[in-house]
Amino acid sequence: MMRNKAVASVAVALAASLAAGCGSTTDTGGGGSGDGKGNGGGKVGVGLPLLTSPFWQSYNDYVPRKAKELGVDALPTVNSNSDPTQQITDINNLLNQNVKGLVVAPLDSAAIVAGLNQAERKGVPVVAVDVAPEKGRVAMVVRADNHAYGEKACKHIGDKVGSGKVVQIMGDLASVNGRDRSEAFRACMKRDYPGVKVLEIPAEWKADKAASGLDTVLNGNPDLKGIYMQAGGVYLAPTLQALKSKGKLVKAGDSKHIVVVSNDGIPQEFDAIRKGEIDATVSQPADAYAQYGLFYIKAAMAGKTFQPGRTDHGSEIVKLPSGLLEDQLPAPLVTKENVDDASLWGNTVK
């Protein structure tokens, strides 16, 4: 994964890139006006999708720290509170404050296009974090491979259960993240574990929907063998409570244990792994999302562009079907074997 490593070296590399017009192996030194001086100056607005998840709370905490380390003049973050319409309003409000760059985490891959179009009309570059828009212009999408999330969860659960019923508690299918994780998990199970039947709960990143949906599934399927939670930040607590209320919160290693794999990499998931309540999580790099969201917006404001290929920070930039570029940051599977790894961001936050 992207480790919580020396950000100072990143700042130096970016400074060199901006000065020399080349820098990392992926920087083309392309055209653009930035702030009119070519130095990436000006205020940056950062939009959050929500703050009810420990993952986004951690990301929010990282933003001012990474901004200071990278020399980015970031305004206080704004929270759209899970409302795609409010997110567009937030973008417009930031544009009216004459920001020179925007870093946003789209709630809805289609709805965000209206905000991107507004930014483009004002000549303000945008970096998308965590979710790729369906269309529109962004300088970079900073994200991990969400298909890999679903694949990793599928293989970990499939190898342990072999056959029987499992359920995936899905994210919002209006988001490419929800779609990618769901499709990958479903396809992997069908391909590699034909004896496994996949049940599904469309929970829309909402804890109450996850709780009610899982309660219904457990009532109708007392023989359930596995659970894939697509967002531990919002689904962990209701999942553990539902299992406990049904007398099914049995520790790993017991024959009655229900295998649970999550996504996010928050400290609460790590604690649950240590207790044997869940088996694994995919560590989505909140620290690197903040770091490289700000890294790329500073570069974009200075008129820099990038090309597909390996980066100098352990990831790969790929070209999406939409034509947008995405820096796919590593996101490792965390199990009891590596849960105490000090370099995991979930072990570095209080």
In the predicted model, what is the mean pLDDT of residues 265-280? 98
pLDDT at 349: 84
Give the model's pLDDT for residue 7: 38
- Where does the pLDDT of residue 326 fall: very low under 50, low under 70, confident under 90, or very high at 90 and above? very high
Q: Assign domain 7-144+285-331 to its CATH superfamily.
A: Response regulator (3.40.50.2300)
Mean pLDDT of the chain: 90
Chain region(s) in the chain for CATH 3.40.50.2300:
7-144+285-331, 146-283
Mean pLDDT of 208-221: 98
Residues 47, 80: contact at Cβ < 8 Å? yes
Q: What is the mean pLDDT of residues 214-234?
A: 97
- State the Cα angle at 186 between 185 and 187, rounded to 5°: 95
pLDDT, tens only, 156-174? 999 999 999 999 999 999 9
- CB-based contacts of 92-99 (< 8 A; 24+ apart in sequence): 92/118, 94/45, 94/47, 95/45, 95/119, 95/122, 95/124, 97/43, 97/45, 98/43, 99/42, 99/43, 99/44, 99/45, 99/75, 99/124
Provide DSSP, 249-289.
---TTSTTPPEEEEEE--HHHHHHHHHTS--EEEE--HHHH
Rg (CA), the chain: 20
CB 48 within 8 Å of CB 104: no
Does 152 score more than 80 pLDDT?
yes
C-beta of residue 91 within 8 angstroms of C-beta of residue 47: yes
- Write down the pLDDT at residue 198: 98
pTM value surpassing 0.85: no
Element (H, E) at 153: helix 146-161
The predicted-structure confidence for 85-140, as pLDDT tens digits, reads as follows 999 999 999 999 999 999 999 999 999 999 999 999 999 999 999 999 999 999 99
Cα pseudo-dihedral 219, 223, 225, 226, rounded to 10? -20
The Cα–Cα gap between 310 and 330 comes to: 12
Q: Give the separation between CA 251 and CA 229, rounded to whole angstroms.
A: 17
pLDDT at 40: 57
Q: Which CATH code, of 3.30.1310.10, 3.30.1490.100, 3.40.50.2300, 3.30.420.40, is assigned to 146-283?
A: 3.40.50.2300
Q: What is the pLDDT of residue 41?
A: 79
CA distance 145 to 347: 22
Q: Read off the pLDDT of residues 8-51 as tens digits, 9 standing for 90 and up.
A: 343 434 433 333 333 343 344 333 333 333 445 799 999 999 99
- CA–chain centroid gap for 124, Å, is 23
